[in-house]
Chains A and B, each alone.
Chain A
Amino acid sequence: MDFFSDPFLFFLIVTLLLYWLSPQKAWQNAVLLLASYAFYGWLHPWFAILLALLSGLTFCLAVRIAKQPQAKRTLIWSGVLINLAALVAFKYFDFFLPAINTWLRGMGLLAAGSTLALIVPLGISFYTLQAIGYLVDVGQRPERASHDWLEFAVFMAFFPKMVAGPLERSTSLLPQLAVVRRWRVEHLERGMFLLVQGYLLKMVVANNIAGVVNKVFLLEHPPAVLLFWASLGFAVQIFADFAGYTALARGFAALFGIQLLENFKAPYISITPAEFWERWHISLSTWLRDYVFFPLQRWLRRVAPQQRRLFVWLPPLVTMLASGLWHGTGWNFVVWGLYYGVLLVLYQIRGLDRRWQPRGARRVLAWGSMFLLTLLGWFIFRSPSLAWALGALTHLTLGLDWNTALFVLKILSTYLSFSLLIFVYPLLQRWAGRPAWADGLYVALAVSLIFIYATSKVNFIYAGF
């Protein structure tokens, strides 16, 4: 059951009716919990069992931390390690499988081929990090521990964010679940705009641009000109795809009177890598900042106070490596993460941090450089494999011929046609005091366009992570 299917529509209507007819907070949360597990269990019953186990364990550990703060270190580490073990076991098992097989065969324990293969539970990358963040928060502020298992279970399983986030914080979502939600027409209005924006970005913009981008990444040795335009297209595609999903998740949550975190703030206007990560996939980057970067920096200050250089380069490298690994098990993701780690270090060494605010031509130059570096990052990310990326770069030709120019013309024509749609709603929002009909017209036109591209065969890039 996904956001584009008939069963989901039926499921959503029934859940909304039951939810808004529930007079008490506990009933509302019970409806959300049942619906979320039905949604998740529909994909695979095993997924729901794993989620229930990890949620139960994290809840119990947090309650124990609140009751026995003196034992918090052991309890936090237990919870962190168990959640991480689940993530590694399910997500990275296949990555290490060839090495494990070789080792087992060497030991004479495996005769031939692997018989082990695990299905990766959808959304595990999101909810395990959410559980870890919650445990660390409770360790720092034990009074934040939730003592209501129902609220906590919904915090972990709330279905709109299940497949690809946003990665929620306990400080944001739990307080909303701790009070009864009253129906207001604004919930419907807010949900409607977000859903329209989400479907438009995904089904119209991302899917159409993907068709052109894929053509270049299917070539064996594309020239530099094509690689540049394909990387640019992928930058638009992945933004529309992921921002589209986030808007849908936030839109469905809004229908229940719940606000999920924002994930994007115009990421491509950034002038430094640090700024980019403050604007791109904000819920993940702030999680990495709070639970990897800062703790590592504090630890280094404690164990090696004299090694100032270590504070500068090690935390960004480790954090971005973790980010790369979180995105996937391919070597291109590892290199992509390290690439951003190196960029962060280099910018920091040059003193180009958050306080750096150049003006005029220097700002344009800074933006242009950062944008090109971002495109290089997306090229690594989108490449079918690291070997392909290296092969493409080592055999690189410029591609200044007539046939390549014609291909670029078609690519550019498609990009301009669809990517401009991204800006319509943000521009509309800037029109202060706009009449209600303007919003209504936007929604009607967008829905008409969405129906042209409606399909039930939809895969989100970030649902694979």
Chain B
Amino acid sequence: MRVFSKMAVRRIAWALVFLILIQAVLQPALAARYQHYVLDNDASIDAQIAEQLQADQAQVLLLGNSFLGEGVDAEQLATLTGQRITKAAIPGSTTPTWYLLLKNVIAPMPTPPHRVVIFFVDSHLTWPDYNLDGNFHLIKPYATPQEPLLAQQLFYLRSSWVEQAVTEFLPTYRFRHQLQRKLYWLSSYWLGMSMGLDAETVDHGENVWSSSDLRDRQLETISQMAQWPVEHLNFADELPRSLLPAMVQIAKEEHIELVFVRLPRRRDYRQGQPVALEEYMRALRAYLAANQVPLLEFDATPELDESYFGVGDHLNARGEAVFTQLLATALQATAP
């Protein structure tokens, strides 16, 4: 029996030739259109938050994501603490965004706020790639063309040589997040658009159903998302691969007082909390204490029972009022 069949060899060879051709043609086209979520940054920095801080002449900046957005009433907090406060709640953001804001927006300001209060969930301070896949827009506005630490912590330390090679040579992989978004958009709306309906109109139907009928099961799903991957709970391993030391260092150099706030969580989410998270938190407390960085913990605060939460871990209006009050007291207690 022959080891090499001509037809089989031809098919394999054609597949390789076409693959190389397709990727070679796509490389310049995609590179001109998209950027890699960590490796290719442009020069522009969004100055909106800096302008807001200056306009407010803020002494305190509250930095976080939608949990902060819905959990803290900045005006009420300002009244309670007697300080000028600016709130920057960027939905979906985590440490890469906050690190870049601290380094590229806040630190270069002529008069930066005295205090930057960062709101986080459990182990997210040392989990920089959390929620970042496909969310380039969260870091792009605050990144300079050269972000070696970001590239190292988010790409080189967290991907294998195979993934790095594929990222380098296959543009459909390198720009997969952007292509996925584009294909999602095309596949979801082409039918509606062919009938003269725009994406917003098409989405309206789903949104109506989701908002009116989803609640219970959505909570179930979010609850599943509240799981804690064990690989992210070894503080000693995760710290050198995170952006936390850099954030602490920048704050020290710029004489900005950094305060971390561990956000409240629903009781039913906390029921499945692993022992490793407690060990992780002990190590985080020790690290922050050694660096004289205050940590305020509200994850299990008894004042906020289930009735103070809205969707998922987000506080509702009542929860916001109570949490703002608690936060004001805690911030005043830690004021220098």
Contacts and interface: CB of A to CB of B under 8 A. Distances in A.
Interface stretch (A57-65, A91-99, A235-243, A408-416): A408-416
B19 A409 contact: no
B3 interface: yes
Interface stretch (A140-148, A262-270, A373-381, A433-441): A433-441
B20 to A, nearest CB: 8
Nearest to A414: B187
Interface string A416-440: 1110000000000000000011011
Contact of A443 (B7, B19, B180): B19
A208 B18 CA distance: 25
A109 interface: no
Contact of A451 (B7, B173, B187, B201): B173
Contacts of A414: 187-188
B149 interface: no
Contact of B204 (A183, A188, A403, A436): A403
B188 A184 contact: no
A417 B214 contact: no
Nearest to B23: A448
Interface string B174-214: 00100110010011111110010100011111101110011
Contacts of A189: 5, 8, 11-12
Interface stretch (A213-221, A294-302, A352-360): A213-221
Contacts of A315: none
Contacts of B172: 448-449, 451-452
B157 interface: no
A221 to B, nearest CB: 6
Contacts of B195: 409
Q: Is the interface of B mostly helix, strand, loop or mixed?
A: helix
Contacts of B160: 6
Contacts of A182: 1, 3
A77 B171 CA distance: 58
A443 B176 CA distance: 18
Contacts of A208: 187
Interface in A365-420: 384, 402-410, 412-414, 416-418
A218 B8 contact: no
Nearest to A448: B172
A221 B213 CA distance: 7
A183 B3 CA distance: 7
Interface string A448-459: 110111100000
Q: Is the interface of A mostly helix, strand, loop or mixed?
A: helix
B162 A6 contact: yes
Nearest to A455: B133
Contact of B14 (A222, A418, A439, A453): A439
Nearest to A412: B191
B9 interface: yes
A247 B80 CA distance: 64
Contact of B191 (A226, A407, A416, A451): A416
A440 B213 CA distance: 47
A418 B187 contact: yes
Contacts of B7: 436
A185 B12 contact: yes
Interface residues of A, number: 49
Contact of A439 (B5, B11, B176, B188): B11
A437 B19 CA distance: 12
Nearest to A384: B217
A444 to B, nearest CB: 3
B277 to A, nearest CB: 20
Interface string B3-32: 111011111111111110111001000000
Given A192-B15, A215-B210, A410-B202, A454 B191 contact: no
A393 to B, nearest CB: 15
B213 A447 contact: no
Contacts of B221: 218
Contacts of A448: 19, 22-23, 26, 170, 172
A199 to B, nearest CB: 13
Interface in B256-299: none
Contacts of B179: 452
A445 interface: yes
Contacts of A412: 191
B19 A447 contact: yes
B5 A407 contact: no
A287 B17 CA distance: 43
Contacts of B216: 220
A189 B218 CA distance: 45
B47 interface: no
A177 to B, nearest CB: 19
Given A439-B15, A441-B14, A186 B190 contact: no
A208 B318 CA distance: 38
Interface in B153-174: 160, 162-163, 166, 170, 172-173
B13 A440 contact: yes
Nearest to A187: B8
Contacts of B26: 448
A71 interface: no
A9 interface: yes
B205 A409 contact: yes
Contacts of B9: 185
B137 interface: no
Given A185-B3, A215-B210, A439-B15, A406 B217 contact: no
B252 interface: no
B89 to A, nearest CB: 26
A186 B209 contact: no
Contacts of B255: none
A440 B183 CA distance: 24
B183 A452 contact: yes
A188 B14 CA distance: 14
A443 B187 CA distance: 22
A452 B22 contact: no
Contacts of A384: 217
Interface of A: 6, 9, 182-186, 188-189, 192, 208, 215, 218-222, 226, 384, 402-410, 412-414, 416-418, 436-437, 439-441, 443-445, 447-449, 451-454
Given A189-B5, A443-B11, 6 more contacts: A182-B1, A219-B213, A407-B206, A410-B205, A439-B11, A448-B22
5 contacts: A6-B162, A443-B19, A444-B14, A444-B15, A453-B180
Interface of B: 1-5, 7-19, 21-23, 26, 160, 162-163, 166, 170, 172-173, 176, 179-180, 183, 186-192, 195, 197, 201-206, 208-210, 213-218, 221
User: Top 4 nearest A-B pairs by Cβ distance?
Assistant: A440-B14, A406-B205, A444-B18, A417-B187
